[in-house]
């Protein structure tokens, strides 16, 4: 043991500069362990991953299926609405709650004291939200034949790409809320904004004229405009 500790500390690094490869490795490690954490907490991941496709099947197939068979635009509306809904959750909840909790528990303080590249933490969580958006979109696309919706390969790939990028504004909102709330208030605050956005952005149903004037305030409205 003494031999090991001797080699450990007698030659501290002469240089404080990080080779590019080591910096990249730090980013990768952060993202990798963020993913591992998520895989080991399926109770968080599965609801966010499964709910959008299940709700799409419920509304787009079971309830409104016959109507959609006659009006393909309605089918597309319901599909895009639930895909936006699926992209919103992981960004807002994943980011918002995690930042609030990890800030309160001292983890962010420790990471600030350590020489972690500052962006590594954010990037890992953004990648995680994008990964959720990918799974959500892919499973929903797989379910489209049930809902009388025909997507070309180009459309499907475009949809995935837009939703990957589309998760970013929701990450930003979650991050902002996470820096302003405590672990106890974060779920409530995130939920308020999440519910308001879901209903006031008009992604699920046509809004009356007055409310339609404010729906462009919500990022969800614009994401649906793009994917529709």
Partner 1 sequence: MGASLEGPFLAELSGVAKRFGQTVALDGVDLRVHAGELLAVLGPNGAGKTTAISLLLGLEQPDQGSVSLFGRSPLSAEVRRLVGVMMQEVYLAPELRVREHIDLVTSYYPAPLSAEAAMEMTHTTSLGDRPYGKLSGGQKRQAQFAMAVCGRPKLLFLDEPTVGLDVQARKLMWNMLRQIVAAGSSIVLTSHYLEEAEALADRVAVLSRGRVIAIGTVEEIRGLVVRKQVSCSSTVAVEDVRAWPGVESAHRDERWLHVTTSDAEALVRRLLGADDDLRELEVRRAGLAEAFTQLTQEASR
Q: Please give the residue ranges that form the binding site for partner 1 (CB under 8 A).
A: 1-2, 4-6, 8-13, 15-19, 22, 25-26, 28-30, 33, 36-37, 40-41, 105-107, 109-110, 112-118
Q: How many Å apart are CA 80 and CA 60, to the nearest integer?
A: 11
Closest CA relative to residue 133, chosen from 167, 158, 156, 159: 167
Task: Name the residue nearer to partner 1 (CB basis): 107 or 135.
Answer: 107
CB of 101 to partner 1, least distance (A): 9
Task: Name the residue nearer to partner 1 (CB basis): 114 or 188.
Answer: 114
Q: How many Å apart are CA 90 and CA 170, to the nearest integer?
A: 8
Task: Name the residue nearer to partner 1 (CB basis): 19 or 206.
Answer: 19
- Listed in sequence order, the residues at least 6 apart from 123 whose beta carbon sits closer than 8 Å to its beta carbon are 27, 30, 31
Phi-psi region for residue 106, left (φ > 0), alpha (ψ -120 to 50) or beta? left
Q: Could you please report the per-residue DSSP string of 150-200?
A: ---HHHHHHHHHHHHHHHHHHHHHHHHHHHHS-TTTHHHHHHHHHHHHHHH
CB of 63 to partner 1, least distance (A): 38
CB of 172 to partner 1, least distance (A): 23
Task: Name the residue nearer to partner 1 (CB basis): 25 or 142.
Answer: 25
CB of 11 to partner 1, least distance (A): 8
- Do 227 and 80 contact (CB within 8 A), yes or no? yes
CB of 196 to partner 1, least distance (A): 31
- Do 228 and 85 contact (CB within 8 A), yes or no? no
CB of 104 to partner 1, least distance (A): 9
Task: Name the residue nearer to partner 1 (CB basis): 101 or 159.
Answer: 101
């Amino acid at each position: 043991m003494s031999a090991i500790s001797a080699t450990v500390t007698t030659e501290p690094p002469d240089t404080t500069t990080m080779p590019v490869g080591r910096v990249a490795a730090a980013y990768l490690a952060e993202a990798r362990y963020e993913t591992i954490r998520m895989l080991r907490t399926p109770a968080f991941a599965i609801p966010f991953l499964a709910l959008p496709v299940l709700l799409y099947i419920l509304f787009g197939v079971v309830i409104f299926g016959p109507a959609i068979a006659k009006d393909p635009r309605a089918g597309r509306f319901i599909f895009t609405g639930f895909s936006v809904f699926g992209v919103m959750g992981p960004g807002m909840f994943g980011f918002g709650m995690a930042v609030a909790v990890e800030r309160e528990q001292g983890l962010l303080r420790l990471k600030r004291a350590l020489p972690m590249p500052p962006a590594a933490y954010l990037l890992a969580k953004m990648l995680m939200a994008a990964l959720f958006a990918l799974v959500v979109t892919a499973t929903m696309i797989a379910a489209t034949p049930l809902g009388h919706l025909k997507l070309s390969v180009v459309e499907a790939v475009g949809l995935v790409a837009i939703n990957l990028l589309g998760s970013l504004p929701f990450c930003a909102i979650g991050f902002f809320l996470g820096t302003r709330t405590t672990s106890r208030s974060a779920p409530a605050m995130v939920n308020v904004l999440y519910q308001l956005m879901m209903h006031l952005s008009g992604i699920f149903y046509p809004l009356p004229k007055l409310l339609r004037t404010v729906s462009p305030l919500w990022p969800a409205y614009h994401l649906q405009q793009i994917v529709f």
